[in-house]
């Protein structure tokens, strides 16, 4: 069953909610659909599509790939209108990349902030297949004076404080659009994108918070000026109170973070040696160190397992021999190649972004 937003068909929010819950996701809101993934389900090389977190601001569009068109215009020499088959002729490439909601961890801020109260699971690591954004820009011919590229999705609706209907739009600098490895993706984990993840085509921007990866993409516009749309200038910005003033800065690179995927909080384990496992990532540089503290002990380095691609997450593990039975608290933190280490208390900001709080798991040894 589908509803409508204007003339656009949209997914039934109740059905989308039930599908997410059946896949094991934890629901935050049904309409718009927002669900996260328990960290214990993030243990694989890639996150299964059905278990990838959902972040939406409006209803989920149901687009027809046969009539879908992507318009590329603005400051370009050769404006284009591309169907899906025409887009694919640029040649497919694949990359494994982490996408993380900028609000991941928001529920841990004190004092509490408004917005979806994400725990630690608004993140996923998937294989994305599409065409290079740089190739499309080259074909269109970016003109002199271009500064930003604006991406518009088909999802739309009113926002707080206004009854006007707006589309979800975000921009990248021309340099980021060209050199970040951005893809116009039409497949996820080697299957066509599902509706809830942007079918038929979405933007994927490795190394940026997921808000940059606009879903249900319909328009790409090259501009000479800074884009100041709602989701660029009013939302998804850090707001810090400092020295009696408010400092604002757009969200950009995901902060370094480690998650414990095993064991999980509430697990009851025999009083014996066990393995702690997890994943870690950063938007600024590869993860170079993961440290674990068990039962209040000093931080000890975990073993980094395998070598991820440039945009995927890093697996890690650490065997431990607990000293005594009872409740055991496990903490994990990561450091990246840019020298950034997770802090116990990320700096509070009004909208609750960048909350890379140290992950804490409590288990019972019998």
Fold match, 64-235 / 257-365: no
pLDDT of residue 333: 98
Cis peptide before 111 (omega within 30 of 0): yes
Distance of CA 143 to CAs 77, 140, 151, 322, Å?
6, 9, 17, 63
The answer on pLDDT for 220 being more than 70 is yes
Residue 128 has pLDDT above 80, yes or no: yes
d(CA 336, CA 351): 25
Classify residue 326 as left (phi > 0), alpha (psi -120 to 50) or beta. Answer: left
- Is residue 4's pLDDT more than 80? no
pLDDT for 329 equals 96
Write the pLDDT tens digit of every residue in 135-186. 999 999 999 999 999 999 999 999 987 788 999 999 999 999 999 999 999 9
Lowest mean pLDDT among 4-13, 206-215, 272-281: 4-13
Which pLDDT score is estimated for 3? 36
Task: Say what the pTM is.
Answer: 0.95
The more confident residue out of 50 and 7 is 50
What is the domain partition of the chain in residue ranges? 64-235, 257-365
262-282 confidence digits (pLDDT tens): 999 999 999 999 999 999 999
User: Mean pLDDT over residues 69-73, rounded?
Assistant: 98
pLDDT above 90 for 218: yes
Q: What is the CATH number of domain 64-235?
A: 3.90.420.10
Q: What is the pLDDT of residue 294?
A: 96
* Mean pLDDT computed over 113-138: 97
Partner residues linked to 336 by β-bridges: 287
> How far is Cα 150 from Cα 161, in angstroms, rounded to an integer?
23
- Is domain 257-365 in CATH 3.30.70.2860, yes or no? no
Contact by Cβ (8 Å): 222, 171: no
Query: Considering the chain, what is the average pLDDT of its residues?
Result: 95
At residue 265's C-alpha, the angle toward residues 261 and 268, to 5°, is: 105
**Residue-wise pLDDT tens digits, 16-48:** 999 999 999 999 999 999 999 999 999 989 999
Average pLDDT on 306-310 reads: 91
The whole-angstrom separation of Cα 66 and Cα 82 is 11
pLDDT tens digit string along 98-119? 999 999 999 999 999 999 999 9
């Amino acid at each position: 069953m589908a509803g409508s937003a204007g003339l656009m068909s949209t997914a039934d929010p109740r059905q989308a909610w039930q599908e997410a819950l059946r896949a094991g996701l934890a629901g935050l809101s049904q309409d718009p659909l927002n669900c996260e993934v328990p960290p214990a389900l993030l243990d694989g090389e890639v996150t299964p599509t059905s278990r990838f977190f959902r972040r939406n601001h409006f209803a989920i569009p149901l687009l027809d790939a046969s009539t879908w068109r992507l318009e590329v215009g603005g400051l370009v020499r050769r404006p284009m209108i591309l169907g899906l088959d025409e887009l694919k002729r640029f040649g497919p490439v694949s990359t494994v990349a982490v996408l993380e909601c900028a609000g991941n961890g928001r529920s841990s801020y004190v004092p509490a902030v408004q917005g979806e109260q994400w725990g630690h699971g608004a993140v996923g690591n998937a294989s994305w297949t599409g065409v290079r954004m740089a190739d499309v820009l080259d074909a269109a011919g970016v003109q002199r004076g271009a500064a930003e590229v604006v991406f518009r999705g088909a999802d739309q609706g009113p926002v707080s404080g206004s009854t006007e209907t707006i589309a979800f739009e975000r921009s990248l600098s021309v340099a980021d659009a060209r050199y970040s490895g951005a893809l116009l993706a039409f497949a996820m984990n080697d299957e066509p994108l599902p509706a809830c993840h942007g079918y038929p085509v979405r933007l994927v921007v490795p190394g940026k918070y997921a808000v940059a990866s606009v879903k249900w993409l319909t328009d790409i516009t090259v501009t000479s000026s800074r884009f100041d749309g709602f989701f660029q200038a009013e939302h998804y910005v850090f707001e810090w109170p400092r020295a009696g003033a408010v400092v604002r800065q757009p969200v950009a690179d995901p902060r370094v973070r480690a998650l414990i995927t095993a064991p999980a909080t509430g697990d009851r384990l025999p009083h014996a040696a066990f393995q702690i496992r997890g994943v870690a990532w950063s938007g600024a540089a590869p993860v170079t160190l993961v440290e674990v503290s068990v039962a209040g002990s000093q931080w000890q380095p975990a073993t980094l397992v395998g070598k991820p691609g440039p945009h995927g997450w890093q697996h890690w593990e650490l065997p431990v021999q607990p000293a005594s039975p009872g409740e055991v608290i496990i903490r994990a933190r990561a450091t990246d190649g840019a020298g950034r280490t997770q802090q116990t208390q990320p700096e509070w900001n009004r909208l609750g972004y960048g909350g890379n709080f140290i992950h804490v798991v409590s288990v019972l040894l019998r």
